[in-house]
A = this chain, B = another copy of it.
Amino acid sequence: MAVSSARGMRDFLPRDKEHRDHVLGIIAATYHRHGFESIETPAVEESTTLHSGLGGDNEKLSFHIMKRGLTTEDMQGASSVEELSDLGLRFDLTVPLARFYASNHASLPPVFRSFHTGPVWRAERPQKGRYRQFVQADIDTLGEASSLAEVEILLATADVLKRLGVDGWRFRINDRRLLTEVLTAAGVQESEHPVAMIVIDKLDKIGAPAVLTELAERLSPGFSGDVLARMLEGSDVGFDAESIATLMGDTDTSRQVASELVEWVSKVSTLTDPGVVVFDPTLVRGMGYYTSSIFEISHPELGSSLGGGGRYDGMISRFLGQSVPAVGMSLGCERLLEVVPEVAVEHFEKVALAYDPEAPSSHLVAIKMHLVSTGHQVRLVPQSRNMRAVYERLAADGFQRVGDVGPDTQSAEAITWRDLE
């Protein structure tokens, strides 16, 4: 019989599980304080919802659930997976949120700040640090057209990272409209903007020279490599509107967008640490649905981001039929867990009762119940020849004290406690 978990999916033992729950608890509590309210959507959505074209490449990684009651004839007559499948596991929380908002908007406030967390599933090739089931934690503000949405989301997220004790992270910020401006100014045809963005998005992995080479190969001739080269090298540009506008096309639109960007970002910088927000002219973010501001959280110890998001004003209308401004941030909890220092989580004093097998179990459980009711977490262990190994195990599991319960021990007061190292 199989005795391992499914490929790319993990079990969590008590110690890891406690750390995960502690970190996820801080994320939830912090976002709540900032006014984001918890919602829950099912793990399973209809295939038509998942495959509505909003999931980008992730749609291809979806796990398909078979229709119930399929006959051999159904299977043998099928010419596509879609004919045999009507449901799927969600691959992100953004598509389910858009569907949730369309289903429930009548019961939600005009500006709805959502906190939405849970597992998502992607049929990726498993590798180190990449799993087929993993947890995301998303906040989204729906119905707020002004940059107040971006400011609240970044300030709340900065607070989460601070409360988790994460150091050295940065918000990298850009605006899709600036990317459009610089590509247009460089003479890239509009129809080729998407492919140009895909190539620029590889900068971190392959470096500027290789990006320029690939752009030359994949774009129609006639664009200015110099304009794009300056942008690719522009990661140290200061966060001032003039420098950004000049770098990103030097047009009226780029000046307008850069000015708005600097204005709202300054509100974030003022209320967090200076230098925590940086302009990144080459930040693209993969998903097609972003319309203006985009952001990512980078960390020096990680090759990939801790999270990211942006404004996606057009997406909700795909489900609701009416346009709703929307900004979101998604934290990748698995990567976050790698950089959050493990802290002792002790809600209760942890004590163990080492009992003589001859001790009446009625006394044993009465003593346990007394300790539980007076604020302890209690584990029972039988006495054995090798108590040293038992004590080591208890200490490793975070227990602070152990007391013997013998045949004559009648109450917790009669116990002599031994401290565990």
Contact = CB atoms under 8 A, between A and B. Distances in A.
Interface in A254-279: 264, 266-267, 270-271
A14 B33 contact: no
A302 interface: no
Interface in A18-38: 18, 20-21, 29, 32-35, 37-38
Contacts of A80: 72
B12 A152 contact: no
Copy total for this chain? 2
A123 interface: yes
A44 interface: yes
B68 A65 contact: no
A12 B40 contact: yes
Nearest to A102: B3
A104 interface: yes
Given A48-B2, A99-B5, A365-B271, A11 B33 contact: no
A361 B148 contact: yes
Contacts of A379: 35, 113
| Dominant secondary structure at the A interface | mixed
A84 B87 contact: no
Contact of A64 (B10, B65, B146, B319): B65
A45 B14 contact: no
A38 B21 CA distance: 9
Interface stretch (A165-173, A190-198, A205-213, A370-378): A370-378
Interface of A: 1-6, 9-14, 17-18, 20-21, 29, 32-35, 37-46, 48-49, 52, 63-66, 68, 70, 72, 75-81, 84-85, 87, 89, 99-100, 102-104, 107-109, 111, 113, 119, 121, 123, 132-133, 146-148, 151-152, 155, 159, 264, 266-267, 270-271, 318-320, 347-348, 361-362, 364-366, 368-369, 372, 376-382, 393, 397
26 contacts: A1-B318, A2-B48, A5-B100, A6-B44, A6-B45, A11-B40, A12-B40, A13-B104, A32-B348, A42-B133, A43-B133, A44-B133, A64-B65, A65-B65, A66-B81, A68-B123, A70-B81, A75-B76, A75-B81, A111-B380, A113-B379, A146-B361, A148-B380, A152-B380, A267-B362, A271-B369
